[in-house]
Amino acid sequence: MKPSIKLVAGNSNRPLAEAIASYLEAPLATCQVKRFADMEIFVDLQENVRGEDVFVIQSTSFPANDHLMELLIITDALRRSSARRITAVIPYFGYARQDRRATGRTPISAKLVANLITHAGVDRVLTLDLHAGQIQGFFDIPTDNLFAAPVMVRDIKERMDLDNVMVVSPDVGGVVRARALAKRIDAPLAIVDKRRERPGESEVMNIIGNIEGRTCILVDDIVDSGGTLCNAAEALLAKGAKEVYAYCTHGVLSGGAVARITSSKLKEMVITDSIQPTEAVKVAPNIRAITIAPLMGEAIARTASETSVSSLFD
C-alpha cells in the first residue's frame, strides 16, 4: 500500500510530473502557478496541505531562473500552509555546472542555489545524476542523488548485442560515470582524450582503448551544445568503430544542438525526460527520450514510507 502523499508540480516538466503521479496512483494537487503582467510569479495552492507529506516536482531547466523561482515560491506557499514535510524533487538541477571556482572572482552558484532551496523551507532534496556528486554536500538537508544508469542499462540490454559493445567516456572527466555503466553491462571501457597542443590549433582526439569494429556507447550526464559528443563520434568512427550511440541523462540541447546532432555521425542519442523534450527534439530522427518516471516515483514512494532507497542505486 502506497503512503498518503501530496504531489505538486511546477511548470518546468508537467508531462513527467503527470507520469510520476500515474505511477504512484496519486493525483497532482491543484496548484496554479501564474504570472503578473511584469512576469512576477504568483502561486495559488487550491488544496489543503496541513500536516501532509508534500513532494514538489520541478526541474530547474530552461528558463532556469523562472523555474527556480517557481520552486522557491511553491515551497514558501507550502511552508506557510503548514505542510508537515516538503521534498523538492529536482530531476535536473540547474546551475550544477558551477560547482567550483574555475578562475578567480567567479561564483560557486550551485552552492548559492542549494542555500536558496534550503532557506525557502525544503526539508529534503531528491535529484538525478548531479553534474558533480559533491553538490550533495552543498545542502545542509538530506539529499538523495539517484542515477539514471539502471534505466539506461535496461534500454541498452533490450536493443544491443552486448558482446560487441564498448562504453566510451567523451572526456577524461567523465571516466568514473562511464566506468560505472560499463561495469553494469560487463563491457570494456575506452576514453576520448582531447587536447589542444597550441592556442589557435584544433583539438586532437586520441582514443585510449581498442574500439575497432565495436559498437561504441558514449556516456555523459549533460548534453548542451552537443559539440563534444559529435566530435567524439567522428573520432571513434575514424579509428574504426562500427557505429556510435550516445546515452545522456539531461538533454539541455540549447541553441543549434538538435540540428548539430541530427547532422552528426551519431547513430542515435538517447536522453531521459528529466528535462521536457522540445518539439525539435521530438521530431529529430536520431534523438530518443526514455522516461525516468518509474525511478523517481519509486524513490518518492520509499521516501514517503521511510524505507530504503539504496537499492535504486544498483
225 belongs to an annotated ligand binding site:
yes
101 belongs to an annotated ligand binding site:
no
Beta bridge partners of 69: none
Structural contact between residues 257 and 225, judged by C-beta atoms closer than 8 angstroms = yes
155 belongs to an annotated ligand binding site:
no
40 belongs to an annotated ligand binding site:
yes
Q: Annotate 148-197 with three-state secondary structure.
A: CHHHHHHHHHHHCCHHHEEEEECCHHHHHHHHHHHHHHCCCEEEEEEECC
- Nine-digit cell at 16? 513527467
311 belongs to an annotated ligand binding site:
no
In whole angstroms, what is the distance from residue 208 CA to residue 166 CA? 12
224 belongs to an annotated ligand binding site:
yes
DSSP 79: H
129 belongs to an annotated ligand binding site:
no
296 belongs to an annotated ligand binding site:
no
What are the phi and psi torsion angles at 54 (to 5°)? -110, 135
314 belongs to an annotated ligand binding site:
no
Give me the catalytic one of 194, 242, 265, 267.
194
Q: 209: exposed, middle or buried (C-beta count within 10 Å: 0-12, 13-18, 19+)?
A: middle
273 belongs to an annotated ligand binding site:
no
DSSP 269: E
38 belongs to an annotated ligand binding site:
yes
Task: Count the Cβ atoms, other than its own, within 10 Å of residue 35.
Answer: 12
Longest Cα separation, the chain: 63
111 catalytic residue (yes or no): no
Q: Which residues contact 104 (CB under 8 A, 6 or more apart)?
A: none
276 belongs to an annotated ligand binding site:
no
The stretches of 26-148 forming alpha helices (DSSP H) are 64-80, 109-120
Which residues are catalytically annotated?
194
Q: Which residues are annotated as a binding site for ATP?
A: 38-40, 97-98
Q: Which residues are annotated as a binding site for D-ribose 5-phosphate?
A: 196, 220, 224-228
Q: Which residues are annotated as a binding site?
A: 38-40, 97-98, 131, 171, 196, 220, 224-228
Q: Which residues are annotated as a binding site for Mg(2+)?
A: 131, 171
